[in-house]
A and B are shown apart, each in its own frame.
Chain A
Amino acid sequence: MAITMKTASYKIIRDHDRCIECLVCVRQCSNGVHRWDEDYMCLVSDEAECVNCHRCVVFCPTQALNVVASPLDFKTNANWRKPDIEQIYLQAETGGTLLVGMGNDRPYPVYWDHLLLNASQVTNPSIDPLREPVELKTFIGRKPDTVHFGSEGVEGEFPPQLELDVPVMFSAMSFGSISLNAQKSLARAAVETGIYWNCGEGGLHPEVRPYADRAVVQVASGRFGVSVDYLKSGAAIEIKIGQGAKPGIGGHLPGEKVGPEVSRTRMIPLGTDAISPAPHHDIYSIEDLRQLIFSLKEATEYAKPVGVKIAAVHNVAAIASGSVRAGADFLVIDGFRGGTGAAPLRIRDNIGIPIELALAAVDSRLREEGIRNTVSLVVAGGIRNSADVVKAIALGADAVYIGTAALIALGCHMCQKCYQGKCNWGIATTNPYLTKRVNPEVGARRAANLIRAWAHEIKEMLGGMGINAIESLRGNRLHLRGIGLGPKELEILQVKAAGE
């Protein structure tokens, strides 16, 4: 054990009356927390290594284990809190940038929790989704302003669209950042529930190719895995400009994670770091973006929608509007609560803005410019449940992307240590011993169940509002009311206050 001034964050409580010394916890923990001590012939725990992922607690057959936050704290100080002090210890020891996994966990306001939904009464009946159809079908892609009829019906080619049965998609998570089994689970679930998954910036492994017609394939600044074949095999292409968890910087998959499979899929040498630069080195301005959009469209013969993903930053509305004018068929906005495999802590915690405000600003801006109906808007970054989805659509989104929620469905316990590559739940790792823990069949069932459950709930909420097609909710902010918000926030969200 390295000598460190940082004390253990968690305390492991083992009930020795219950423990049968089966050593399941020893085998389950990739962090080596549990150990059988041959000298003392007993189980010991190295609490300093514990990340509170609950793997041992869930798998202990006698429920002998519990993990709690360590009660040890520094002298109360409203300015110097425990993490502030511990982060300095760590940096004093390593001299490095602090890394974290998953999205921003700081107590910034969650605007979803300050928005309330409407229901119909008397003047307008609610609709029971068990008796009447309530439609969730959503099309992602460019739409013309109008439709021209000729003698042969609709004139001209209609732009390609993604057809979603539920307005939810699995957001970009590359093979490498998550295990192949985890990716396969999501891909299968997407096929099963009529939605789409996103392969992230990591190419398409041969084993997920069968699900490629439901895949959004990503082109990011590292261009890993990109070939004409790759572009053509997906249902849509997404140019990743920015990510909500780390706006302004690129990505870094450490060489240790680049085993033979990852190396082949990404088309990079074995064991080398996969570094995605901060900007695309062929996009230094908006007209460059337009060129990339159209070269991808050319390469795929205009048969697939090409979208642009940007992080929610201060001037997101202008960037969004520019991207639409540059030819993006759909726009993805990723809020600052979006998850990630690894991000520098300071960047994750301090850069970007909440998706709720970014979405409201972008939708309003695109409407002011009269182009909102021509493009699809997908939002990501901190969507936790079906009510968040409904609120996002009422604020103006066509659909949402979920990443963290999808991983939680596969078993993620939000320990936020994805960057260590030792995920005990077999998700954020490429270690074959650990990745076996996700069974793609079980994973697919769980992820599909989540989508189905949300679909039911969305239908119920829509029916309650007297709406039987999701498009009638899109941008319909009259069905929202704000609670506990200031006048400026209400103005940006363009919603009335509760009671108004």
Chain B
Amino acid sequence: MVVREGLARIPAGCAVAGIVDRRRQAMKADGIVTMISLMHDRSNGLGGGFAVYGCYSDMSDYYAFHLFYESSSAQTETEQFMSIYFKVEQKEPIPVRKNGLQKHAPRIWRYFVKPKVSEINEQDLSEEEYIIKTVMSINRDIPGAFVASSGKNMGAFKAVGYPEDVADFYRLEEYQGYLWLAHGRFPTNTPGWWGGAHPFTLLDWSVVHNGEISSYGANRRYLEMFGYHCGLQTDTEAITYLLDLLVRKHRLPLLTALNIFAAPFWEEIGRMDPERQRLWKVLRSVYGSALLNGPFSIIVGCSHGLIAMNDRIKLRPLVAAVNTEKVYVASEEAAIRAVCRQPDRLWTPAGGEPVLAWVEHQTSKHGSSSLCDGLVREVS
């Protein structure tokens, strides 16, 4: 019997791609689909997916929940559960095209909801915590139900299949957004479950990732101390939770969090000025368990823009490019050139050097840290 993802840990290789328009101009799906399809050989048909920001601008005040159900009872139970904690404005099946993928598809529904203020107050939580708590209880406690995404004005569309087929299945040509992420997966055995495909999302974050983190066990046990339940057993899930812990809960500047994930080597720290040396000693000793060790390239999307980064010794590929207002990142240069033949600038970010591309009128709420000046290349 195939062990479902979450019950086993499945190593995978992958293709990742992302585009953002920094003026928030809506883009159709064709660009991102071209990019990810060009890297067809980096996936093996066992997982593909997309995230798009700006796709539900008419409903941007509502949290958009994308749900997978494996049974009608899972759906009934989830809807009952949601009606306790949310005001459900609209619900509908997500439209799909019958192209073969439907054979193994779960029921796929979306809901536009607002949390019930009375419940939030009752539980004495912030709105964000309330959403996270609800999502986690659905995923953990309702068998056969899985929340694929739950942010505002964004959505994740994922499946077991090649990414180009996934795009076709979800009729992505009908959506537009200012930021797109894509993922093609090459797991080493069958995940057999749509929930395990990327992107992985939490609140406003969505993450696509290529790699196998050898620090996973340490990262996971660290997260568990802070109440995160790593039910999927995937690196992507752990990375997303780490971001949430460091940036949202611990209020670290985003850049600091990224630099903790791919911390400078002690040798490099030894060459810094005394003030920074001290800072890094503190950061590395407090956040050693958040260091992501082993090969990865990740692209993180959020409503503020896009972040891309490699592990600190660059064991996985990542290329970035800028063309006027658009920023592209991908596993391969060819994927970028396929949609933008002559970018203004194209480069290979160094190991551990984050690429940040923020959208206009929205300087990051996460702030920036003087610590990281010079370590980070902010796209301008």
Contacts and interface: CB of A to CB of B under 8 A. Distances in A.
Contacts of A472: 214-215, 218-219, 288, 291, 293-294
Interface string A141-161: 101111111000110001001
B225 A132 contact: no
Interface in A81-134: 120, 123-125, 127, 132-133
Given A124-B11, A469-B293, A474-B218, A149 B253 contact: yes
B216 A478 contact: yes
B289 A373 contact: yes
B288 A367 contact: no
Contact of B222 (A124, A148, A373, A467): A373
B74 interface: no
Interface string B281-325: 111111111010111000000000000000011010000000000
A144 B293 CA distance: 22
Nearest to A134: B265
A36 to B, nearest CB: 59
A476 B290 CA distance: 12
Interface-centre pick from A144, A465, A471, A477 (highest chain B CB count, 10 A): A471
B225 A137 contact: no
A144 B188 contact: no
B156 to A, nearest CB: 24
A244 interface: no
Contacts of B263: 469
Chain B CB count within 10 A is highest, among A143, A465, A469, for A469
Nearest to B313: A132
A477 B221 CA distance: 9
Given A147-B286, A472-B291, A123 B12 contact: yes
A139 B266 CA distance: 13
Contacts of A135: 265-266
B226 A471 contact: no
Interface in B210-238: 211-212, 214-219, 221-222, 224-226
A71 interface: no
Given A367-B225, A370-B225, A471-B288, A153 B217 contact: no
Nearest to B222: A373
B106 interface: no
A373 B225 contact: yes
A147 B290 CA distance: 13
B5 to A, nearest CB: 15
Given A466-B293, A471-B288, A476-B218, A147 B225 contact: no
A392 B210 CA distance: 30
A289 B253 CA distance: 39
B219 to A, nearest CB: 8
Interface in B192-214: 211-212, 214
A149 B252 contact: yes
Contacts of B278: 153-154, 158
Contacts of A124: 11, 211-212, 214, 294-295
Interface in A154-176: 154, 158, 161, 163
B371 interface: yes
A223 to B, nearest CB: 32
B279 A154 contact: yes
Contact of A478 (B217, B291, B370): B217
A410 to B, nearest CB: 30
A370 B226 contact: yes
B225 A475 contact: no
Contacts of A161: 281, 285
A232 B313 CA distance: 41
A468 B369 contact: no
A472 B13 CA distance: 21
B267 interface: yes
A55 interface: no
Contacts of B331: none
Given A124-B294, A127-B313, A471-B291, A147 B283 contact: yes
B117 to A, nearest CB: 29
Contact of B293 (A146, A149, A467): A467
Nearest to A372: B225
A471 B218 contact: yes
A143 B267 contact: no
Interface in A335-389: 367, 370, 372-373
Nearest to A474: B218
Nearest to B218: A476
Contacts of A467: 214-215, 293-294
A141 B291 CA distance: 19
Contacts of B369: 149
Contacts of B293: 466-469, 472
Given A135-B266, A472-B291, A475-B218, A367 B224 contact: yes
A479 interface: yes
Given A127-B313, A468-B313, A120 B214 contact: yes
Nearest to B225: A370
A231 interface: no
Contacts of A477: 217, 221
Interface in A240-280: none
Contacts of B224: 367
A148 B256 CA distance: 11
B214 A466 contact: yes
Contact of A474 (B13, B275, B284, B289): B289
Pairs of residues from A and B, 3 with the lowest C-beta to C-beta distance, nearest first? A471-B288, A478-B217, A472-B215
Given A123-B13, A145-B250, 11 more contacts: A123-B11, A124-B11, A124-B214, A161-B285, A367-B221, A373-B289, A466-B295, A467-B214, A473-B215, A474-B288, A475-B218
25 contacts: A120-B294, A123-B12, A125-B295, A127-B313, A137-B266, A137-B284, A139-B281, A139-B285, A146-B252, A147-B250, A147-B282, A149-B252, A149-B369, A153-B370, A153-B371, A154-B279, A158-B278, A467-B293, A468-B313, A469-B288, A469-B293, A471-B218, A472-B219, A476-B218, A478-B9
Interface of A: 120, 123-125, 127, 132-133, 135, 137, 139, 141, 143-149, 153-154, 158, 161, 163, 367, 370, 372-373, 465-469, 471-479
